[in-house]
Amino acid sequence: MGDNPYVRMTKAEYDKECKVCTRPFTVFRWRAGTKGRFKKTEICQTCAKLKNVCQTCLLDLAFNLPVQVRDSALPDGTLAEIPLSDANREYFSRIADKQVSQGMLPYGRAQYSPLVQRLARNQPYYERNRAHICSFFVKGSCNRGAACPFRHEKPEEQGDLANQNIKDRYYGVNDPVAKKLLKRVQNKDVLAPDDTDIKTIYVGNCDKRITEQDLKDHFYYFGEIKSIKLVPAQHCAFVEFTTRDACEAAVQKLFNRLIVNGVFLKIAWAKPQQLINEQLSSSPPSQSGGNFYPSMDPERMGSIPQGEVAPLPGTAPPPTQPKWAAPANTEKDNQPPPQPQPQLQ
Domain boundary among 242, 269, 296: 269
Sheet bearing 236-241, strands edge to edge? 225-231, 236-241, 200-204, 266-269
From 108, 127, 146, give the residue that closes a domain.
127
Q: Is residue 229 part of a domain?
A: yes
Answer yes or no: is 343 within a domain.
no
Q: What is the DSSP string of 36-77?
A: BPEEE--S-HHHHHHHTB-TTT--BTTT---HHHHHHTSPTT
| pTM over 0.85, yes/no | no
Containing domain of residue 212, as a range?
200-269
The Cα 139–Cα 320 span in angstroms is 60
| Grouped pLDDT means (10 residues each) for the chain, 345 residues | 78 90 90 82 88 87 84 65 74 78 63 67 73 87 87 77 80 84 70 82 89 91 91 90 90 85 86 56 46 48 47 48 41 48 52
Residue 274 host element (H or E): helix 273-281
Angle at 229 between CA 225 and CA 234, to 5 degrees: 140
Residues contacting residue 194 through CB under 8 Å, at least 6 positions apart: none
User: Domain for residue 56, yes or no?
Assistant: yes
How confident is the model at residue 323, as a pLDDT?
Answer: 38
Is residue 330 included in any domain, yes or no? no
Q: With respect to residue 104, please indicate whether it lies within any of the assigned structural domains.
A: yes
Residue 110 has a pLDDT of 58
Residue 41 lies in a domain: yes
Distance (Å, whole) CA 250 – CA 262: 19
Give residue 183's identity as a one-letter amino acid code.
K
Residue that finishes a domain, picked among 269, 290, 308: 269
pLDDT attached to residue 1: 67
Q: Which CATH number goes with the domain that contains 235?
A: 3.30.70.330
- The tally of domains found in the chain comes to 2
